[in-house]
Chains A and B, each alone.
Chain A
Amino acid sequence: MFATAVIVFREVLEAALIIGIIAAATRSVAGRTRWLLAGLLVGLAGSALVAASTDAIAAMADGIGQELFNALVLGVAVLMLAWHNIWMSSHGKAMAAEATKVGQAIRDGQQERSILLVVVGLAVLREGSETVLFLYGISAAEGSGASSIVLGGLMGVLAGTSIGYAVYAGLLRVPLRWFFAATGMLVLLLAAGMASQAAHFLIQADLLTSLTAPLWDTSALLPMNSIPGMLLHGLVGYDPRPSGMQLVFYIITLAAIAMGMKLASRSLSPIAQKGKVS
């Protein structure tokens, strides 16, 4: 039961961190709860679907279908987060200025809100499909322990979501002045970490060279399977043994989104705002 709890916790934690940060970053977006929930449901439904067809996905493309699928999902999520962050930096100031009337400030925010669905959906899809498959495997292997698996799984889900919620609640306490900077920075690091992981999958599939591997080794200092290691992995994409290519992806993503945010916030004028949302 404990093993189930730990593994489910690990998968849930990553998705919960993403959802917690995104939920905090969009706290003033009207109707965001509905979009987040829709993303969660779509992700869960997709997970079940993926788990059911894992054989086919894994067998695709000469045994590297799983890596391609993961890299693709991560790539789409990075693009969505980049778009979200750049969009927010052109509207964040206006939103901070009149936080109570935010509904008006982003009245044309339909597009922005649907991004929530995609990002949350993809995060849940990736982690969820692994979780479903794992639970399926365990229950098939030891039919008698089904109740302990369910219990362990529930414990893992509970622990993972509470940490995600703690991140969300913690972010809400940040003063509004710093709020957009703080969540923007977190989403930025989240996206860069995802890009580096996408590179990792492409290297594992031998579609990309690693440049140097590993670039450094901090696995003795801060192992990946420790709680702080897991948290840092989920938050900023920490990898105890990264390859050079992963770092290149990380830095390029970080720089590209940061530059986009800077440009967007500089061009903050009524005309630019109108142009962005249409």
Chain B
Amino acid sequence: MTTIFSTAAVAGDNVYSLVIKDHRFQPSELTVPAGKKIKLSVENQDPTAEEFESHDLNREKVIAGNSTATIFVGPLAPGRYRFFGEFNEKTAQGVIVAQ
């Protein structure tokens, strides 16, 4: 059963924070270890909703204004994974670097 249902706990040092402010991601480049499951904690400080989207990571999640969302990604192969805010694609751009 443990192979089917993942253990929800991710070690504390695998939690990474992103902040959305003024329709931008901070930091815009995030370095994470390859081969490990990562917990992304995305805090949207703008009053408007944003959608965290990444074709490279195969993730998509709406984050309401002034709220925080949790997104699990990985384990990732080494490489660069682009992500963006779909509602403000011009400014909200970022990349996750797995190494």
Contacts and interface: CB of A to CB of B under 8 A. Distances in A.
Interface of A: 3, 7, 54-55, 58-59, 62-64, 66-67, 130, 133-134, 136-138, 140-141, 200, 203-209, 213-214, 219, 223-225, 239-243
Contacts of A223: 55
Contacts of B75: 213
Given A204-B71, A207-B8, 6 more contacts: A54-B64, A63-B69, A134-B51, A225-B55, A240-B55, A240-B58
Contacts, number: 85
Nearest to A63: B70
Contact of A137 (B4, B39, B48, B89): B48
Interface of B: 3-6, 8, 10, 23, 37, 39, 41, 47-51, 55-56, 58-59, 61-65, 67-72, 75, 86-89
Given A134-B87, A137-B48, A206 B10 contact: yes
Nearest to A61: B70
Contact of A63 (B48, B59, B68): B68
Contacts of B3: 209
Contact of A3 (B47, B49, B69, B89): B89
A253 B57 CA distance: 25
Nearest to A140: B48
B48 A141 contact: yes
A203 B62 CA distance: 16
Contact of A208 (B6, B37, B63, B64): B6
Nearest to B87: A137
B22 to A, nearest CB: 11
Nearest to A138: B87
A209 B61 contact: no
B5 A137 contact: no
Contacts of A3: 89
A214 B70 CA distance: 21
A217 to B, nearest CB: 10
Contacts of A140: 47-48, 65
A55 B4 contact: no
Nearest to B37: A206
Nearest to B46: A141
27 contacts: A7-B87, A54-B62, A54-B64, A55-B67, A58-B64, A58-B69, A63-B70, A64-B70, A67-B61, A130-B62, A134-B49, A137-B87, A141-B88, A203-B72, A204-B72, A205-B70, A205-B72, A206-B6, A207-B6, A208-B6, A209-B6, A214-B58, A219-B55, A219-B56, A224-B55, A241-B55, A241-B58
